[in-house]
């Protein structure tokens, strides 16, 4: 089965989406049973000759109306961003009964109610997983997986630029405007960074997900929004003294009759997992009545992560179009007829770094005997640790950390070493992830 897509807007995410459809066509077919075909791309600044990806697209145009009028297009993917043109295109597509996929959080935060109402009227689906949390599947999690819960609160780190700046300020001791300048030079911050550093983008996103979580429309203009431009190094230093970090959080809470939604810099203890969410990563902490706490972490932006969310929405709509059978999702998420044969590795065939704790007699040459045998098995050693104070009965622990090595070599070497009379107990072997 073929699903035909028209893409409007060919920027970072549009390109990421196209790359996924081309590179991952096999896995998408395997899981969904569909061929997703991009029939047309519309963009004001497009140049077919400058981009090899576009050579696969039959129809490239600067006129979006050609896509809207193409009766073979099932889904319009809106990735131009901004408000007015995007709103107009989505309206026109909906009344022509085309399904919509968009990553436009500003548009949905401002005009989502109107768009969803129109889509319901015309029996059209709007997928918007890419609008919040990039590669983190937070919207479907709230709509389906946590659907049977009363969501009590959400704490989100939802803007990668702001989080990157705060992380740099903390790790490098620099002031806000210095880090912002560097981030702009490296392309991590826009030349006009206001949406990111003033908290506006975060407020757009919490408006969307708190509406889903609390089952009611949360208007963007009711959200208190405070950015990070006033955060000083001295405050980060004080927070550190308190075993805390400063993060830009988007917070939404529901009480019996009240809701609060806000975006502002927040000091959180180091022991919180959210305090470990650094650089451009995003995360959502959600507390529900029944499921209790869940955390969802990943890349909040970028062509591939957001492109992946956009393509997942396309696949979901394709499943809906096909549906009318109980098999809208194959039981394991893929169709049996596409199964492949894979060799499943034995544990001996698997490479890993290792921690080896030998129990040895406290004699000279013990270290060289053991490391010699390890060397004979191509095991190279990163470090050796000894703890003299633990010796008793002339026995002591001797720990080696190895580089990555074939597991079989470790077992073979330890089998030989454990026969030696300098070894007083079975050697402990633990794998190490570096």
Residues with a catalytic annotation lie at 205
Residue placing its CB nearer to a second copy in the complex, 66 or 140: 140
Residue placing its CB nearer to a second copy in the complex, 191 or 434: 434
Strand, helix or coil for residue 152: strand
Residue placing its CB nearer to a second copy in the complex, 267 or 381: 267
Residue 109 backbone phi and psi in degrees, to 5: -65, -35
DSSP bridge pairs for 293: 287
* Minimum CB distance to a second copy, residue 414 (Å): 14
Q: Does 24 bind a second copy (CB under 8 A)?
A: yes
Among residues 296, 160, 302, 281, the alpha carbon closest in space to that of 228 is found at 160
Stretch that binds a second copy, among 196-204, 272-280, 363-371, 411-419 (CB under 8 A): 272-280
* Minimum CB distance to a second copy, residue 95 (Å): 15
* Minimum CB distance to a second copy, residue 188 (Å): 16
Contact between residue 376 and residue 413 where contact means Cβ atoms under 8 Å apart: yes
* Minimum CB distance to a second copy, residue 10 (Å): 18
Q: Does 4 bind a second copy (CB under 8 A)?
A: no
Contact between residue 339 and residue 40 where contact means Cβ atoms under 8 Å apart: no
Residue placing its CB nearer to a second copy in the complex, 142 or 183: 142
Q: Does 240 bind a second copy (CB under 8 A)?
A: no
Q: Is 420 exposed, middle or buried (CB count within 10 Å of its CB: 0-12, 13-18, 19+)?
A: middle
Cα–Cα distance, 312 to 306 (Å, whole number): 10
| Token reading at 311 | 């393509």
Residue placing its CB nearer to a second copy in the complex, 68 or 223: 223
The binder of a second copy chosen from 37, 53, 321, 367 (CB under 8 A): 321
Subset of 278-317 contacting a second copy (CB under 8 A):
283, 288-299, 304-305, 307-309, 311-312, 315-316
Query: Distance of CA 404 to CAs 346, 382, 385, Å?
Result: 17, 10, 18
Q: Does 47 bind a second copy (CB under 8 A)?
A: no
Subset of 130-189 contacting a second copy (CB under 8 A):
135-137, 140-150, 155
* Minimum CB distance to a second copy, residue 275 (Å): 9
Residue placing its CB nearer to a second copy in the complex, 195 or 220: 220
Subset of 76-135 contacting a second copy (CB under 8 A):
99, 116-117, 119-120, 123-126, 129, 135
The binder of a second copy chosen from 40, 64, 200, 218 (CB under 8 A): 218
The binder of a second copy chosen from 176, 195, 214, 358 (CB under 8 A): 214
* Minimum CB distance to a second copy, residue 145 (Å): 3
* Minimum CB distance to a second copy, residue 26 (Å): 9
Sign of CA dihedral 129, 133, 134, 137: negative
Q: Does 266 bind a second copy (CB under 8 A)?
A: yes
| Token reading at 340 | 């492949």
Helix (H) or strand (E) holding 179: helix 176-185
Q: Does 423 bind a second copy (CB under 8 A)?
A: no
Residue placing its CB nearer to a second copy in the complex, 141 or 423: 141
Q: Does 410 bind a second copy (CB under 8 A)?
A: no
The count of chain residues that interact with a second copy, using the rule CB under 8 A, is 136
Subset of 368-407 contacting a second copy (CB under 8 A):
385, 387, 390, 397, 399, 401
User: In sequence order, what are the residues at sequence separation of 6 or more whose Cβ sits closer than 8 angstroms to the Cβ of residue 209?
Assistant: 132, 138, 139, 142, 154, 156, 252, 284
Strand, helix or coil for residue 226: coil
Residue placing its CB nearer to a second copy in the complex, 60 or 78: 78
Residue placing its CB nearer to a second copy in the complex, 16 or 60: 16
Among residues 425, 421, 432, 289, the alpha carbon closest in space to that of 352 is found at 432
| Token reading at 42 | 């519309």
User: In sequence order, what are the residues at sequence separation of 6 or more whose Cβ sits closer than 8 angstroms to the Cβ of residue 87?
Assistant: 107, 111, 115
Q: Does 337 bind a second copy (CB under 8 A)?
A: no
Contact between residue 40 and residue 334 where contact means Cβ atoms under 8 Å apart: no
Strand, helix or coil for residue 420: coil
The binder of a second copy chosen from 71, 185, 192, 346 (CB under 8 A): 346
The binder of a second copy chosen from 6, 189, 265, 374 (CB under 8 A): 265
Among residues 169, 159, 148, the alpha carbon closest in space to that of 284 is found at 159
Q: How many residues are listed for the chain in this entry? A: 434
Cα–Cα distance, 393 to 379 (Å, whole number): 30
Sign of CA dihedral 168, 170, 173, 175: positive
* Minimum CB distance to a second copy, residue 404 (Å): 13
């Amino acid at each position: 089965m073929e699903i035909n897509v028209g893409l409007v807007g060919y920027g970072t995410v549009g390109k990421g989406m196209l790359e996924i459809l081309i590179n991952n066509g096999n896995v998408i077919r395997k899981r969904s049973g569909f061929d997703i075909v991009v029939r047309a791309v519309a963009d004001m600044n497009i140049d077919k000759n400058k981009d090899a990806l576009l050579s696969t697209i039959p129809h490239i145009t600067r006129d979006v109306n050609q896509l809207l009028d193409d009766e073979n297009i099932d889904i319009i993917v809106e990735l131009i961003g901004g408000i007015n043109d995007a709103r107009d295109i989505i309206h026109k597509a909906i009344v022509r009964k085309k399904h919509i996929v968009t990553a436009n959080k500003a548009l949905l935060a401002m005009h989502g109610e109107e768009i969803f109402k129109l889509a319901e009227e015309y029996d059209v689906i709007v997928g918007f997983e890419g609008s919040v949390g990039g590669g983190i599947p937070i919207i479907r999690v709230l709509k389906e997986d946590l659907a049977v819960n009363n969501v009590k609160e959400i704490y989100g780190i939802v803007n990668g630029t702001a989080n990157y700046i705060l992380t740099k300020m903390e790790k490098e001791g620099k002031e806000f405007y210095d880090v912002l300048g560097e981030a702009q030079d490296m392309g991590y911050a826009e030349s006009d960074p206001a949406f990111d550093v003033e908290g506006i983008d975060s407020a757009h996103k919490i408006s969307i997900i708190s509406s889903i979580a609390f089952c009611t429309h949360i208007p963007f203009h009711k959200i208190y929004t405070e950015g990070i431009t006033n955060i000083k190094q001295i405050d980060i230093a004080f927070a550190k003294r308190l075993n805390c970090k400063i993060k830009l959080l988007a917070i939404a809470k529901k009480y019996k009759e009240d809701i609060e939604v806000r975006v502002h810099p927040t000091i959180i203890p180091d022991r919180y997992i959210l305090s470990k969410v650094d650089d451009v990563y995003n995360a959502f902490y959600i507390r529900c009545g029944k499921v209790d706490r869940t955390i969802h972490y990943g890349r909040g932006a970028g062509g591939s992560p957001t492109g992946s969310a956009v393509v997942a929405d396309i696949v979901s709509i394709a499943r809906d179009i096909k549906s009318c059978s109980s098999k809208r999702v194959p039981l394991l998420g893929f169709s049996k007829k596409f199964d492949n044969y894979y060799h499943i590795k034995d544990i001996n065939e698997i490479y890993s770094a290792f921690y080896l704790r030998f129990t040895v007699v406290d004699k000279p040459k013990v270290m060289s005997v053991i490391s010699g045998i390890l060397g004979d098995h191509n095991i190279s050693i990163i470090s050796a640790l000894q703890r003299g104070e633990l010796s008793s009965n002339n026995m002591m622990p001797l720990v080696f950390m190895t580089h990555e090595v074939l597991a079989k070599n470790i077992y073979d070497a330890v089998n030989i070493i454990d026969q030696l009379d300098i070894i007083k107990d079975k050697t402990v072997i633990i794998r190490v992830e570096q």
